[in-house]
Chain A
């Protein structure tokens, strides 16, 4: 079946890089996503990567995909206090409208 796993917590100092990891089990995943959720808010789409890509860079964000190991990571360069939030990894696999989400990684940025 489908399963997406993430570590639950990450603490990082302001100005350092953050790396959030995710593993998934569905080998038919076509797109993989990273979303950010701040307290009391909905989900903000940060970036996504198609399964035939290895890497995607978007300003401070770098997504790495290892399809063989079904491992996805999100690197945030120069992490700021405004990056404190819960980050969700999600995958879609030819199932209309359905994203399978991980449990979310709480990122806390300390000054």
Chain B
């Protein structure tokens, strides 16, 4: 099976712009979670989508949003970028069932905000 793919792998944006990141989960997985990884804060949970519905959300401002499509692919959007949004954004794919919690991560998108 193909693993989790994320596009683009690298991105450079300017403060105030917006950005959209994409994640394609493992075939058959219906849950996609997003995480932000920074040297200062470590790995922080952003949100989780299952069957096109947001099931869970972390403590991030409303500038961070996401969605999931019927094929389980997910996008994450960050509006009005700030310098502090520079990070590695990771998505994780999971079957999404209560009996199956393991998450498989993609390679990440490295976002740099200047």
Where the two chains meet, the residues of A that have a C-beta atom closer than 8 Å to any C-beta of B are 30-31, 33, 35, 41-45, 48, 88, 90, 92, 95-104
Assess whether B27 is interfacial by the CB under 8 Å rule. no
Residue numbers of B with Cβ under 8 A of A are 4, 6, 31-33, 35, 42-43, 45, 47-50, 55-56, 58, 90, 92, 94, 96, 101-108
Main secondary structure of the interface of B (DSSP, over half): strand
Across the interface, which residues of B come within 8 angstroms of A45, CB to CB?
A: 102-105
Beyond A42-B90, A88-B43, A103-B42, whether A96 also contacts B55 by CB under 8 A is yes
Q: Which residues of B contact A92 (CB under 8 A)?
A: 101
Contact A101 B101 (CB under 8 A): no
Q: Which residues of B contact A104 (CB under 8 A)?
A: 42
Contact A101–B43 (Cβ < 8 Å): yes
Q: Are A96 and B90 in contact (CB under 8 A)?
A: no
Q: Are B101 and A42 in contact (CB under 8 A)?
A: no
Contact of B108 among A42, A44, A97, A99 (CB under 8 A): A42
State in angstroms the CA–CA spacing of A31 and B47 once bound together: 19
| Residues of chain A lying within 8 A (CB to CB) of residue B96 | 96-97
By a CB distance below 8 angstroms, the chain B residues around A101 are 42-43
Expressed in whole angstroms, the Cα–Cα distance for A102 and B47 within the complex equals 18
CA distance A54 to B106 in the complex (A): 29
User: How many angstroms from the CA of A42 to the CA of B91 in the assembled complex?
Assistant: 9
Interface centre among A33, A35, A98, A102 (most CB of B within 10 A): A98
Which residues of B lie under 8 Å from residue A41 when comparing CB positions? 107-108
- Taking CB as reference atom, which chain B residue is nearest A99? B103
A33-B103, A92-B101, A98-B48 known; 19 new pairs, CB 8 Å cut-off, are: A30-B101, A31-B101, A33-B102, A35-B105, A41-B107, A42-B90, A95-B56, A96-B31, A96-B48, A96-B96, A97-B33, A97-B45, A97-B49, A98-B45, A98-B56, A98-B58, A99-B43, A101-B42, A104-B42
19 contacts between A and B (CB under 8 A): A31-B101, A31-B102, A33-B103, A41-B108, A42-B90, A42-B108, A43-B90, A43-B105, A48-B102, A96-B55, A97-B31, A97-B33, A97-B45, A97-B47, A97-B49, A98-B56, A98-B58, A99-B33, A103-B42
